[in-house]
């Protein structure tokens, strides 16, 4: 850390160049990235209920403006957190935005830092049973998807491909572990439809109709 409390190694010239390209107010956005503390940027809470995205098709973009571009900013990546990224995937899932789900999941996957392990995602303790059920199902589906990638031979960080053994046996890997809180979230009494025709098994177990395929892009 330096005297401002910022980690060493952040490319500030690149941060500024990207902000000038993608932001209508680069000075203001740079200040937002430098302040306030604590270091990790919070995601705007409370999260909307899944049905809110059906009624307002602009809600995801309004709450996550220019997120594909902002994720390129080194200072943002340094201040981003796994729980914020997880919440963005939740919102993309509720908005039925397949490209946004795949893009954010890939971004999460490419974060190799130890604190980005799925097991470390804290319990949201969401008081809304519908949101809580969707969050728990999403977490379980992400663990399944990440372990599927690991079994294929991919590795977190996106820099390695490990070939299978000659007999087709997957190369050894350390699997992602399910956070303890996810398994304790109950199913919904009334069916919730996020995506018509969805067959995601983790969601179906909680009476939720949703797709999981966008979590498995490679």
The torsion angles phi and psi of 8, rounded to 5 degrees, stand at -75, 155
Residue recorded with tokens 């000659």: 166
Q: Which residue has the higher pLDDT, 203 or 65?
A: 203
The helix/strand count (H/E) of the chain reads as: 10, 2
In whole angstroms, what is the distance from residue 44 CA to residue 18 CA? 23
Nearest to 85 by CA among 33, 138, 10, 20: 138
Domain definitions of the chain by residue range: 12-24+42-216
Q: What residue has token string 């969401």?
A: 126
Span 38-80, pLDDT tens digits: 678 889 999 999 999 999 999 999 999 889 988 988 888 888 9
Residue burial 119-145, b: 16+ Cβ < 10 Å; e: rest: eebeebebeeebbbbbbbbbbbbbbbb
Backbone Cα Rg of the chain: 18
- Dist CA 19 CA 13 (whole Å): 10
Which of 112-116, 171-175, 185-189, 192-196 is predicted with the least confidence, judged by mean pLDDT?
171-175
| Residue 6 tokens, joined | 């910022």
pTM of the predicted model as reported, rounded to 2 decimal places = 0.84
Give first-to-last CA distance, the chain, whole Å: 34
Least confident stretch, 31-40, 54-63, 151-160, 166-175: 31-40
């Amino acid at each position: 850390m330096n005297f401002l409390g910022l980690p060493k190694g952040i490319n500030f010239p690149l941060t500024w160049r990207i902000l000038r390209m993608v932001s209508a107010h680069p000075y203001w956005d740079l200040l937002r990235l430098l302040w306030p503390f604590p270091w990790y940027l919070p995601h705007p809470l409370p999260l909307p209920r899944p049905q809110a995205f059906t009624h307002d098709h602009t809600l995801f973009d309004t709450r996550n403006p220019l997120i594909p571009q902002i994720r390129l900013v080194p200072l943002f990546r340094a201040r981003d957190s796994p729980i914020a990224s997880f919440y963005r995937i939740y919102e993309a899932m509720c908005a039925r935005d397949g490209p946004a789900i795949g893009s954010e999941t890939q971004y999460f996957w490419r974060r190799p830092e130890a604190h980005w392990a799925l097991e470390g995602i804290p319990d949201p303790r969401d008081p809304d049973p519908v949101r809580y059920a969707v969050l728990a199902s999403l977490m379980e589906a992400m663990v399944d998807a990440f372990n599927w990638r690991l079994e294929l031979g991919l590795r977190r960080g996106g820099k390695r491909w490990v070939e299978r053994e000659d007999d087709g046996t997957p190369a050894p890997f350390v699997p992602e572990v399910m956070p303890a809180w996810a398994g304790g979230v109950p199913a919904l009494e009334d069916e919730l439809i996020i995506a018509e025709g969805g067959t995601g098994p983790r969601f179906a177990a909680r009476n939720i109709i949703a797709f999981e395929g966008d979590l498995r892009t490679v």
